[in-house]
Amino acid sequence: MDLHLEADVGEGRRAGLERALRDAVRDGRLAPGERLPATRRLADELGISRNTVKAAYDQLVAEGYLTARQGAGTRVAALPPVDAGPPEAAARAREARFDLRPGSPDVGAFPAAAWLRALRRAIATAPSPAYDYGDPRGRIELRTALSGYLGRARGVIAPPERIVITSGYVQGLALLTRVLEGGVIAMEDPGLPFHREVVRRNGGAVVPVPVDERGACAEELGDCSAVVVTPAHQYPTGVTLHPERRRAIGDWARARGGLIVEDDYDGEFRYDRQPVGALQGMAPGQVVYLGTASKTLGPALRLGWMVLPPHLVDAVADAKLHSDHHTESIGQLALAELIDSHAYDRHVRACRLRYRRRRDQLLDRLGARRRVRGIAAGLHALVEVDDEAEVLARAEAEGLAVGHLGEHWHTPGGGEGRPQGLVVGYGTPRERVYPEALEVLVKVLGRA
C-alpha cells in the first residue's frame, strides 16, 4: 500500500506521522474499513522506529480515527459526515415519499432485455474502428437508423449527413448557442429555467416569448437571432402550437433570417390522435430539430440528436469535436440496432399505452371540479390552483414532491394575474406507488 504520507519530521517524527495519517483519513484517501500496514512494515518504509509508528497508531485509535482488534490489525474507522446535523435536521431533509415532479419517465419500464439483445448484436457485428475515436457527428449506423425513424414517426426531413449525435438535449442546446456566438435567443415564458441557464452559460442572451392557449406568440419575436420552442407539447403549460402560429414562426424565420430550435422532448406520446408532426418538416432550412432518448428509454443513456440545416452542420460538428470529440459509440450502435429491429417502435407504443392509463387515472381521481391542461400528450399535466404557495406547503407536509408553474416564469414571483398551477408529472412514479401518490395529491388539493 502506498499511503502517500508526508510526515513533517520538523514537528517530531511521531507528531508528523499522526498528522499525516489523520489528514489522510479526513480527506478520504484512507477509506473507512481499510487496513493499515503492520507497524514493523510501515516503520521500515518510513525509516523510523517501530515504537514511533505504534505510538502514532495508539494515539489515533484513542481519538477515534483508527480501530484496532487483536488478530484483525489496525483499520480506518468510519467517521460521521462533516456536515451531519442533528437528527431533527436530518428528518426535515428526508426525501419525499411520493414524487410527482415532471421531467422524467418511468425508468422502471426501461426495456432491459431488448437493450441487452441489441447491445450483444451491436458488439458482435461492430467493426474494429468502432472502438477508436470516431466522427464527431456520430456513428453512421445510428444516423441512418434515425433518418428513417424520424421521417416515419415525426415527419422530420433528416438525411444522415445532417444529423449530429449528442450526449443529450442539453449538450445540443449548448453547442448550438456557441455556434451562434451567443446572440439574442427567445425562449418560451413560462419554460424550463435550467435550459435558459444553459444558453446564458454558453454566451447567449435570453429574452422571453409569451405563451398563451395557442402556444408561443410569434408576433413577439422581434429581432432575436433564434427562438426555442416546444411545439408538440409546450413545457410546462402543455398546449400544442396552433397551426397559424406554426406558420407564423416559420414566416418570421424566413423573413428575418432567424433560426427555430425545436425541442421535441416527448413528441411520441400523444393520446387523442396520431402524434403531431414536427415543425421541422414544414421549414427544414430554418429549423434545428433536437430529440432525445431520455423520455422514451431513459436519461442515463445520454443519447440525443440534432437535425440541422445544411449551413450549420460543419460548425456544429466542429463544436462537438472540441467539446467531447464524440458521443460514446457502443450505445449508439445498440440504439441503431434497437431502431432497425423495430424494438424501439414497440417499446414506444407500449409506453404510450402505459402513460395514457396513468393520465386517465389522474383525470379520474381529480374529477371534473379541477381544470387540468395539457392532457392530450406528454408525461405531465398542469392542474390549476388558486394559491400555489398554500398547496405546495400542504404537499410538503404530506411528503409529496410536485412541480409548480411559478418556478418556470422568466421573472418568478412577478406579474399580476398570472395563472397558478401544479405541474404534475405522471411518468416518474413506479406502477405500484402511483395510485397512492394520486391519493395524496387529491388529499392535498381537497384540503387546499
Instruction: Give pLDDT, residue 417.
Output: 74
Taking residue 94's Cβ as centre, other Cβ atoms within 10 Å add up to 8
Instruction: Give pLDDT, residue 5.
Output: 62
Span 165-184, pLDDT tens digits:
999 999 999 999 999 997 89
Q: Tell me the one-letter amino acid at 74.
A: T
Q: Is the pLDDT of residue 302 over 90?
A: yes
Instruction: Give pLDDT, residue 13.
Output: 83
- The x, y and z cell numbers of residue 335, run together, are 440504439
Question: What is the set of domains in the chain, with CATH numbers?
Answer: 9-76 (1.10.10.10), 98-107+347-447 (3.90.1150.10), 110-345 (3.40.640.10)
Span 30-79, pLDDT tens digits:
888 889 999 998 888 888 899 999 999 999 998 889 998 887 789 999 87
- The x, y and z cell numbers of residue 344, run together, are 424501439
Query: By three-state DSSP, how is residue 86 classified?
Result: coil
Q: What is the arithmetic mean of pLDDT over 102-127?
A: 95
Q: Is the pLDDT of residue 88 over 50?
A: no
**pTM, entire model:** 0.81
Asked if 395 and 376 count as a contact pair (C-beta separation under 8 A), the reply is: no
- The x, y and z cell numbers of residue 4, run together, are 502517500
Taking residue 376's Cβ as centre, other Cβ atoms within 10 Å add up to 18
pLDDT band for position 344 (cuts 50, 70, 90):
very high
pLDDT band for position 415 (cuts 50, 70, 90):
low
- The x, y and z cell numbers of residue 326, run together, are 464524440
Instruction: Give, in order, the Cα–Cα distances in Å from 438 to each of 99, 372, 426.
Output: 10, 14, 9
pLDDT band for position 448 (cuts 50, 70, 90):
low
Q: Tell me the one-letter amino acid at 41.
A: R
The C-alpha atoms of residue 258 and residue 260 are separated, in whole angstroms, by: 7
The C-alpha atoms of residue 379 and residue 216 are separated, in whole angstroms, by: 20
pLDDT band for position 86 (cuts 50, 70, 90):
very low
pLDDT band for position 203 (cuts 50, 70, 90):
very high
Q: Is the pLDDT of residue 359 over 60?
A: yes
Q: Tell me the one-letter amino acid at 15.
A: A
Instruction: Give pLDDT, residue 93.
Output: 38
Query: By three-state DSSP, how is residue 185 classified?
Result: strand
